[in-house]
Amino acid sequence: MAESFVYRELGGPSPRYWGLLALLAVPLALGAASYFYIEHYGHIVTGMDNQIVWGMPHVFAVFLIVAATGALNVALAASVFGKTAYKPVAPLSALVSVALLVGGLALLMLDLGRSDRMIVAMTHLNAKSLFALRVILYNGFLATVAVYFWFMLERRMNRYIKAAAILAFLWQLLLVTGTGLMFGFMVARAAYDSVLYAPMFIAFSSAYGTAVFILILLATCRWEERPIADELLRRLKNLLGIFVGASLYFAALFHFSKYYVARSHDVGQFLLFDGGVYTALFWLGQVAIGAVAPLALLLRSQVSSAAIAAACSLVVLGGLAQMYVTLIGGQAYPQILFPGMVEASSFFDGEIHPYTPSVPEVLLGLGGVGLTAAIVAVALRALALLPERLDQTAGPQA
């Protein structure tokens, strides 16, 4: 059982650890500076305009939030579905999940037109808004995972782990469904308007979250040479393979349905063939780099942590490409007000909208990633969340 493992904080000499924090402080500082710059001058200094209203910060934010729910999968597999092999890494899985969510939420809040009013988002809730509902879902998710986390760490509460985990599982499902439907219910834009967004986002979430989790697990073990059992790596490798496969299936189904149905054929054609950078990012980024290449690495019977790390990195890159295609590509395609007519106006009706992200936007996005990494680094140093050795899972203890 997990009790037989000795959990230990992140060790290593102080200068090395402080060096890591100093490194993470760079994206954080640049992100903070970018935020104040945009806040002062307004969104005019970003690449966004009145056609592309959600830009690069949203690409990072939605990626982090979607990955957050999926990063909990490993912990839930242990606590809800009895996969005891994952038990030793369950606390790390919960930590990565919370850190990703905090990073993503911070970005969403900092990219508001009136970020000084973010408290208003808590005090005025429109119950019908999926966005507002997500505010409740996010906070609820953080609270549920916190309780689950506490039950895992506090021996006396261990027996309630399963109940807490089931609650976290259901909450996770609700949250990622809500995020997917935020796009799915947007009937105004042809690239959205599909309930497939809900299951597709569940698959994306599982793939991205698991990839980030494995990367952090491998990095932590490498930091102080904690051994990992091949059996655990094999399981994680196969789990990620299933999630990447499911993501590819839903992406194919979604794009095919858009392309096939006459009503949405034009936007399907745009994303798949005529969309320039979006088409390239879809085929090269989301499909080749984000799915085919990692699957080739993950489906090998050999277990190599280098190959797994490479596959995870590719999944993350593919995920960012997918978010760019979904968010920016979906807005670049014009809103058709008068079907069957050619539209033209000084407000760019009927045109494909261009978008070039500005440097502050990208830095703000990277700041969110830095925040996530910093939370993980600080928590791992302060709390004993990972066993000293992860090469005992295959034995009777597991």
Q: Is residue 269 part of the contact set for another protein (CB under 8 A)?
A: no
Cα separation, 398 vs 393, in Å, equals: 5
Is the Cα dihedral 161, 163, 167, 169 positive or negative? positive
Binding status of residue 142 toward another protein by CB under 8 A: no
Nearest to 237 by CA among 225, 245, 247, 226: 245
Whether residue 263 contacts residue 333, with contact meaning beta carbons closer than 8 Å, is answered with no
Q: How far is the CB of 32 from another protein (least distance, A)?
A: 18
Please answer whether residues 203 and 322 qualify as being in contact, where contact means their C-beta atoms are separated by less than 8 angstroms. no
| Closest of 216, 248, 226, 7 to residue 97, by C-alpha | 216
Among 224, 230, 231, 343, binds another protein (CB under 8 A): 343
Question: Hey, which residues between 53 and 82 contact another protein (CB under 8 A)?
Answer: 53-54
Which residue in 114, 155, 156, 159 binds another protein (CB under 8 A)?
114
Q: Binding marks (x or -) toward another protein, 359..398, rule CB under 8 A?
A: ----------------------------------------
CB-nearer residue toward another protein: 125 or 163: 125
Residue that the structure tokens 């895992």 belong to: 152
Do 215 and 294 touch, CB atoms closer than 8 A?
Answer: no
* 391 neighbors 19 (Cβ within 8 angstroms): no
Four-residue CA torsion sign, 319, 369, 105, 328: negative
Which one among 29, 118, 219, 261 touches another protein, defined by CB under 8 A?
A: 118
User: Which of residues 126, 155, 156, 262 is near another protein by CB under 8 A?
Assistant: 126
Give the binding-site size for another protein (rule: CB under 8 A).
Answer: 44
Q: How far apart (Å, rounded) are the C-alpha atoms in residues 365 and 359?
A: 10
CA distances from 362 to 25, 27, 32, 252, 306 (A): 16, 10, 12, 29, 28
For 252, residues 6+ apart whose C-beta sits below 8 A from its C-beta are none
Q: How far is the CB of 333 from another protein (least distance, A)?
A: 13
Site mask for another protein (CB under 8 A), range 30-49, x = bound: -----------xxxx----x
Residue 162 CB, nearest distance to another protein (Å)?
Answer: 34
Binders of another protein among residues 183 to 242 (CB under 8 A) are 186-189
- Output 17 or 54, the one with its CB closest to another protein: 54
Residues paired with 7 in a beta bridge: 387
Written as six digits, the tokens of 161 are: 């782990």
Phi, psi of 358 (to 5 degrees): -90, 165
**Residue nearer to another protein on the CB measure, 77 or 130:** 130
Q: Which residue has the tokens 């968010």?
A: 327
131 contributes a contact to another protein by CB under 8 A = yes
d(CA 321, CA 283): 10
Q: Are 151 and 128 in contact (CB under 8 A)?
A: no
262 binds another protein (CB under 8 A): no
List the structure tokens of 393. 């899972």
- Which listed range, 15-23, 74-82, 98-106, 340-348, lies at the site for another protein (CB under 8 A)? 340-348
For another protein, the binding residue among 21, 32, 33, 135 (CB under 8 A) is 135
Nearer to another protein, 192 or 254 (CB): 192
The residues in 280-339 that bind another protein, with binding defined as CB under 8 A, are 331, 335, 337-338
The CB-of-141 to another protein minimum distance in angstroms stands at 17
Closer to another protein at the Cβ: 41 or 273?
A: 41
CB 152 to another protein: min, Å: 33
CB of residue 55 to another protein, shortest distance in Å: 10
Residue 333 dihedral angles phi and psi, to the nearest 5°: -70, 130
184 residue type, one letter:
G
Among 219, 252, 284, 344, interactor with another protein by CB under 8 A: 344
Q: Which residues bind another protein (CB under 8 A)?
A: 41-44, 49-51, 53-54, 112-115, 117-118, 120-121, 124-126, 128-132, 135, 186-189, 331, 335, 337-338, 340-349
